[in-house]
Amino acid sequence: MFEDGEYVFLADGDDKRYWIRVSFDMIRIPSLGTIDGSRFRDADDGSAVTIAGKEFTIFRAGAADLMGSLERGAQIITPKDAASIIMNCDVKSGDTVLEVGAGSGALTTALTSAVAPDGRVHTVELREEYALRALKNLKRTGLDRYWSYQIGDAKDVTVNMAADVLITDMPDPWSAFENLIGSVRPGGRVCAYVPNMNQVESTVNKMREMNFFDVRAAELMERELEVHPGGVRPSFKMLGHTGYLVFGRKRS
């Protein structure tokens, strides 16, 4: 059953989403009006509800849903890249993740969802306005309880932790590795997200220079399929280049 304060969405027949925070009192839903939230007391994921004579389905939000609902400023890391980062860095409940660059909080949302309820994500952000936007987005979803941040330059900031994973979203991650790698436990995983090929080269070279294990780089493409009666074909549109991912692992 849904819990009081849980962040969920209503989907209409056209798959349009209306985000709400569950309350068993009166709820104001933009474009739909005010409804009695007590009807959600016995509802569960996928339940049908009728509001103002219109049918909706109420769904519990997954990490990708939450990422898509964010108030955006900076370009976000997409779900396809976030999923690869989480899998390749083995991010799981109870882990401690050191992140560089909050952006709008998209990757932070995916990471906090993965480490909950026993882990945490700590973000180093150069610009306070980005950190505050990420905080606002995380508070909407309730994931802020698993997050902390500090303002500073990753190249020289002091971070007191023993992280399982280091993930950077900055133009020159190689310049911060020497400073941050001491905050990563032996065997910990490192991922750098960069937009350009020359940045990949510099990042890989620095990881090799620092004797990281299993250094590799990848780019992910995603193309949906158009499914119609009598025929299926690839979509003409594709979520192509978004960024390059460079992975490595710290030796003791």
Of the pLDDT bands very low, low, confident and very high (cuts 50, 70, 90), residue 44 is: confident
User: Can you tell me which residue has the tokens 């519990």?
Assistant: 60
Rg of the chain in Å (alpha carbons): 20
pLDDT digits (tens, 9 = 90+) for 139-171: 988 899 999 999 999 999 999 999 999 999 999
Residue 74 above 70 pLDDT?
no
CB contact set of 43 (below 8 Å; sequence gap of 6+): 1, 2, 49, 58
* Length of the chain in terms of residues written: 252
Q: Which two tokens stand for residue 122?
A: 């700590």
pLDDT digits (tens, 9 = 90+) for 213-250: 999 999 999 999 999 999 999 998 888 789 999 999 99
Contact 45, 60 (CB under 8 A): yes
